[in-house]
Structure 1
Amino acid sequence: MALSNRDRLGKAIDLFTDSWRTWVVQQLDEKYDGSGAEKAQEYLTQGSKSGQHVPKSPKEWDAAAIVSIVLSLWQYCFRYKLEKGERSMLHELQSIRNEWAHQKPFSTTDTLRHLDTVIRLLNAINDAESVREVEKMHGEVMRNRFSEMQRTASDRAKRQATAGTPREGLRPWREIIHPHPDVRTGNFAQAEFAADLAMVHRGDAPDEYGKPQDFFRRTYLTEGLRGLLLNGIKRLSGKGGHPVIELQTNFGGGKTHSMLALYHLVSGVSGSDLPGVDVLMREVNVEELPKAARSVLVGTALNPGKTEQTPEGIELRTLWGRMAYQLGGKEAYSFVAENDAHGSSPGSDDLVKLFKHVGPCLILIDEWVAYLRDMYNMDRLPGGTFDGNLKFTQALTEAVKACPEALLVASLPQSKVEVGGQGGQEALASLEDTFGRLEFNWRPATADESYEIVRRRLFEPIEDPQDFADRDAVVGAYAAMYRNNPSEFPSECKEGNYAARIQAAYPIHPELFDRLYEDWSSLEEFQRTRGVLRLMACVIHTLWNRDDRSLIIMPGLLPIDEPTVESEMTRYLSPNWPVIIEKDVDGPNALPTRMDKESKRYGQIWATRRVARTVYLGSAPVAGSSNRGLEIRKIRLGSIQPGENIAVFGDALRELGDSASYLYADGARYWYSSQPNVTTTAKDRSAAFQENQDDLLAEICERLRDRAADRGGFRKIHVPIEDSSDIPDETDTVLVILHPSKSHTAGKSDSVANTMALECFEKRGNSPRINRNAIVFLAADRTKGKDLLESVASYLAWKSIFDERENLGLDPHNRNLAEKKMADFDRTVNARINETYQWLLVPYQTDPTKTQWQELRLGGAEAIVEKVFKRLKRDGLIADQLAGSVLKHHMDKMLWKDADHIEVQKLTNYFSEYVYLPRVVSQKTVLTAISDGIASLTWRSDTFAYAEGYDEEKKRYVGLHAAKSGLDIPGNGPGLVVKPEAAIKQLTEETQPTESGTPAQTGEPTTTNTGNTTTAAGTLGSATFKRFHASVKLNPTSAALEFSNIAEEVLQHFTSKLGAEVFITVEIEAHSETGFDDATRRTVAENSNTLGFDHGEFEQE
């Protein structure tokens, strides 16, 4: 009867209990001088609850009691024997046992994970026999899963084949190269991908490892392996070679596989039956492979606390006893029998005698550190002592060096996972010291060699020439895509050797291999070769049964939604990654799947799922590193096939990044993390802000107030305005920025903004507005206002998250993300305020009886107020200065009417009140224009005069000024702007001579300045001054400036005098010792004629 998942787990827990019970007692007895059981019972009693059953002896210990003892005594004993990771697995086993005891059902995925935990814990104490039993159950569960997959393969192929639109005319990988039968059908157990020396030596290994021919058929001879085999042939043929070889790499670096190759090489099989070996034989110049006695010692398969019985009844206790027996049976064992019985190391001389007795011999020691660490601080084990075994190491290496046909190959770990606790570290240090002076340099497979290793193990060779041609066509298409789009893919892709990499890795994309060997291999428990084989076998089997039609197998095409694939891609990660995959990466309800279904553009090529898978593959194993994630060009590299639209994948990635909870982005880099990002929180908060817009409007208003602090050319700015009473009725022109809720729509005269502007224009509160020509309005665009509100909501959401970063417990990246997003949306809000407040609403009149509104759209990136003022000024809708002549022009049209003058205060008010007049920045603009008109030398025809007052009785102007600069015109005084005709009339009357021959005297004489003397324009004694003449020499280099000063300070006093005639003559005399050339004479003559000179000539001396 087939076992259920629960039955298997129960059996696995029993195996754990039996194995660990014995091991724990051994460790405690060693620590507490034989009273370890009593010490453990003491801890169990102290830790028990009232009424709880306490086991009376180790025989009654169950899994829970064992775990409790180990964890309680961790600091005192077990931390020297086990790794921290194994301590965590004990906690996990405790949970498994509790779930099992409470009748919880176990899924296939859970069962596989739990059995794997038990296997690891049994390996930790080197119980190889129990490991094999649990691995057998693990394999049964895997086969059951693949059987279920096969039953539904046809349906799933129709539903789940990866979508894509590769270039027509290219054949998919499944039509060119076929997986091995065990991969196609799924008839493999994951454990079969682990080369196990002990299983091969026992004869229990599958054919691809146990039979030399099959092994070499699926083995790619890397440079490192070639060197190792060549050395083996030389050494065991008596032709030199290195006697002792150390293999040391990271976890899964190919050490055991290399030993297996040596093991089969000297098994007695003909070299012609082993693919690739004949080349090695020719290189060494041997006709036959040497046949050697072989010893295989695997530390994880041997227990130093147990003995081994041989068919002859010999009890093998130590490494040297087992080695001797394997090399030559009972007769060879006799050389070390006494040492084996007492656990003492034989000397190197004894071992030399042994090796010479057996002839050519190969000693393979794998997992040596694992064996030695189990005897650390243990003195009464059958396998001897820790120090005794280290002495054996030295004796063994010396003896092998002394025997020309003896070869020792041992593997040493590099990763902490393999080293173990303190005992493992000391053992490794001692072994490294022993092997450290060796000259043979074995190196593991390179990344490119790994391609071929995996390809040979998983795929049958291509044999048909047409298949080779079709493969090359696919490779060429990929190379052309990368070459023709250099900016879309990593720079190395356009190089010629990348096409060679695609060909070497076919049908697997090199980027997939790179991510596995560079990123996933950084995980301590991920074995480089075995881990890749396990994963890719599941991937290829799934894709084959789904009738995948892709050109090659790429990161974006990994079927992570398949439970077996997902299990392989999460087994080395923290427990929450399956949840992340189901939510944000792949699966029927995952976000990328939904996005592909909702968008035909994405869905026809599964764009979102493919980029999500690619990002997951390149980020999950390195989620905690500083350089996280994949650059967008790498994501395209792992997702896109020739003929597909490149832009679609970038769009899908950006949209996914905006919505996924566990996907992070930093510039062009994307990665998944086990901690949710704050994007979802920000979206929820943003939505809440948008439901109640008060906070959004308040934020916009505050920013508008900040912008209004820089008034530009305006004297005042009012913001934000919701009511006409908020705007004072003032004479200086003001800019009114309407509240963001008062928006405008182009061409709509009854928009909310226009309605509000009209109300403010016509009145202030309940009173009519007087200064209607001193107000303009700026309003938000209704459509753009919606985008602005969304941006503000996002800004406030991210700001609230950043402000609460301590309470939310954000990690450094999420803190930086929140700060960056807050800054980004802050800039976005500022930019959108500028874009949204784009409507200038300006009242104007062509007919004094009718007001119209001008609608102006603003553009440009300047500050709002500056932009408004520039536009008004450019279009002549506001003036910050007026010429006196312009002012007179407008006065002539309708302001003078029948009067000879107009009050200055009334004139300035007119410009603020009447919309048909030019709009000025302030009344000061009008006052400056009056000053300009008074100073004009052509005031009689172009401008006007100014009087300080008007005497009604005498009917004359008081303090009448004309053609005079520098006058300060008060805006609120009694000053008058006088028509030039009226001013000329009064000035003429004042200068007419009386019958006695003197001008009529007035109470207010007009003054005139003559150099340093100021005289009245009447009489001084009996003399009358009627003529003035003067001459002055000018500096030729500054004549223009000096003449300008003369005109202002002297000439204007004559030209402004009614009836005065002024004559000015300019004399020029130039002299040069060298003479003036033709060009100079010609230029001066032409310019003189043009300027109307009476005469001018050059003379010769």
Structure 2
Amino acid sequence: MALKPWREIAVPHEDVLKGTFQQAEFAADLSRVHQGSATPEYQDAALFFQRTFITEGMRLLLDSVVKRLAGRGGDPVVQLQTAFGGGKTHTLLAVYHLAEGKTATSKLQGIPPILDQAGIAELPKAKIAVLDGVELLGLASKPRMHGGVAVRTLWGELAWQLGGAEAYALVKEADENGTAPGKGELAAVLSSQAPCIVLMDELVRYVSQFEEGKTLSGGTYDTQLSFIQSLTEALKAVPNAILLASLPFSDREAGSQQGVKALRALEHYFGRVQALWKPVATEEAFEIVRRRLFANVSDRLGAEDVCKAYADFYAENSGDFPPETQDAKYLERLKHAYPIHPEVFDRLYEDWSSLDNFQRTRGVLKLMAKVIHRLWTSGNNDLMIQPGSLPLFDADTRNEAIYYLSPGWDPVLERDIDGERAMTTELDNAKPLFGSIHACRRIARAVFLGSAPDAGAVGGAKHHRGIELERLLLGTAQPGQKVGHYKDGVRALVDRLQYLNSASNRYWFDIRPNLRREMEDRKRRFDLREDVYPFIKDKLRFASGVFGGVHVFTPSADVPDDWSLRLVVLPPDATFGRAAQTLAVDAATAILKSRGEQPRQKQNRLVFLAPDADSISRFKDQVTSVLAWASIVSDVKGGRLNLDQHQSRQASQSLEQANEAMGRMVRETYKWLLTPLQEAKPGKGIGDIQWDHFQINPAVVNRTEEIEKVLKEHELLITEWAPVHLAKMMNAWFWKDDTTAVSALDIWQKTCCYLYLPRLRDADTLRATVNTGVASRDFFGVAYGREDDRFQGFHFSERTTIILDDSLLLIEPKVASDFAAKLAQEAAEREPAIKGREVGDGAAGGASSGSGAGGATNSSSGKTVPVSKPPTSAKKTTFFGTVEIDPIKAKLQFSDVAEEVLMLFTQKPGVKVRVSLEIEAEAPGGFEDGVQRSVRENCNQLKFKNHEFGE
């Protein structure tokens, strides 16, 4: 059946003629949102509030919630039995997203005013328990497993959701026995997790399955009611805890007889709360306007058909229109408002009435009289008079509208909104898809009606400028039309109109030219590789930290192949994601395997940072926005672009905001740490190169420290190494066959080259490990050279300070132990010989002195010949020695001096030994600054008493 246009059903009053005067529910599911599996419009808090119209009733409820969570009053228990305008579950979702606190309240459309009004600067995050009676139906007879814990009851589930095992322990006994916990136990749970919020949905469905006299694992009917009673009492004792429970509105909705019984009992325990729902516009207002402007509705059935068609249209496209259109009451609003669409009244009463000189009733009547007169005379055939129907091309209608606004709207209307020379007309004429429904003109008119008061009001502008897309569609689309055509029209207008602004899914006209349009035009000027990539490179800055170098977008030929640990930041086109890793891995592999045309040797010194595949396009777009805003600000300062003071300030603020957003996106985009490794087992070969990947926390200030932390946590970078691990590596890869002594420097260098060996921070890490391990007999010995079967500068099972150079050897512990035993044996053999020489010298002296009478025996005569006794010499008490040491063989000669001389002194108890070292160095050409700096730092580290460079 064909629907009749309004002009065939509703006849205006004679003075007007002469010119003298949705039914459907959103697929909202609280449990799915809590589990993280809902669709984006419900799961994403910012998107949810963008798509949610906060009615007066919902606002009052949220106000009570935020006050309660902040400990500033508010109701401890609220039952949702009245339609709040968005549906009970929709209301619970609003409370859930607000209390959860994952998204900043500044990003939740409509929430900042509520917080401001409540005097709350920052809403604390709350613990949330979601008890969905339908989702928890099975809990009554079958425990729900949380890890290794079996939760049997509603109160056990409540405690577990709020605080896990810790909170569950407080009600564990009651949960296991199926008995309701007392008020004190529940208050302890709530206070330990406060601020907290409990959301109960479909509770009647859950409780009604407990038949009286029947005990289930989840308790009994009476224990469920006792739990609710104790919970409501406990909530009163915790000032920052709140319960919201939805109950059926009628007995029919409660279902069975048991359900009705449960409903009555729950109503008693929850208690009635004050009705918060408040209509946006009264039916009386519709009636006043209609009776004054229209004589009668000649075909009431035809009018009802049109209204029902609109309601069905909104239901079929529920995601495109405001939530209130899905309420059954909206059909009644359509009927009461017919032939004027309720959205016209909402905009005039809510927005235009904020203008100082616009009278609510008289102003609406005067404007609508001119609108209806022009639509009647021009043969308008719309089904209802919507915001998109306003004939702003008509001089009288236009003048009446802009009469209430500030000066400057004439060029806006003429150029961008309506009329023969308007851009909207040009777009409609150029594209039949738009022209057939006048899409662009209707959109522009609806935007004007919804946003002009913001720009024209002296003190009554809304907190959020503009009109949302869903409300814009509500003011334009008619049954039988494609909503998508209007969406296409919106995009076309955003790209072309000079005075149209858009942000956060909202649209508005302003009397000043659109700076954003200028910015969008400039964004197209910037080349990806010539402008965007260099800009990103400049913003990717890292402290050096553990890395010897950070290489941002550096070709493989320019990444050094040396012993330093290096971080390589991959370019924006080398993206990484869990589902798409190829680009980043290919780019990193190319750098890992070669340095320009040459194979790369020190592969184990490179780690990589890659951009996120899902974020890179938004990041690039944000960079072009920054470049565009920067060029606008630069042109304003240079006098190349003329803007008023407000626009100049707006451009500067937009640049600051774009820079702030870009700073966040830099960290959010460059978050993938890639590290190469290979698996290898001795005798079984080496596997292919594999790539470990980890996400870097974008919130940290020092990302270099965070990268080092991640590497250390996953043992991909060794900064402190136990000797046992070094010994294991030596046994696996170095002490092989007859090779029992290996160059320590060679070991360090091989760890830098091979991906199957540990990645050490630097050579000092190895040196510190050797210093620690050589003091034990379990790991290895050290020496500074080997001649035949003898080690030079040998140390084993003793503390020493090694110097890591090409002469240092790590010796297999058994070989070191055998050599140490050999040295001990040689020392033991030398001891009697030394003592024998001392005894022989003493005997010779005795023979010369005879029996002590001062004579000697003549060997030829056998007679004793008197001789004079030599004078007794004093014992030597000090020693001083100087030796010249070849600087090339310094380590070996130092070791020899220590063993052959110093050891003879230090082995004797009571001998005080002082050793000093003098170094003189002369360079005819002078020492380089780097050498001087290193020598001074090392001298300070080694505690030299004196050190200086001279001319």
TM-score (norm 1): 0.43
TM-score (norm 2): 0.49
Name which one, 1 or 2, has greater alpha-carbon Rg: 1
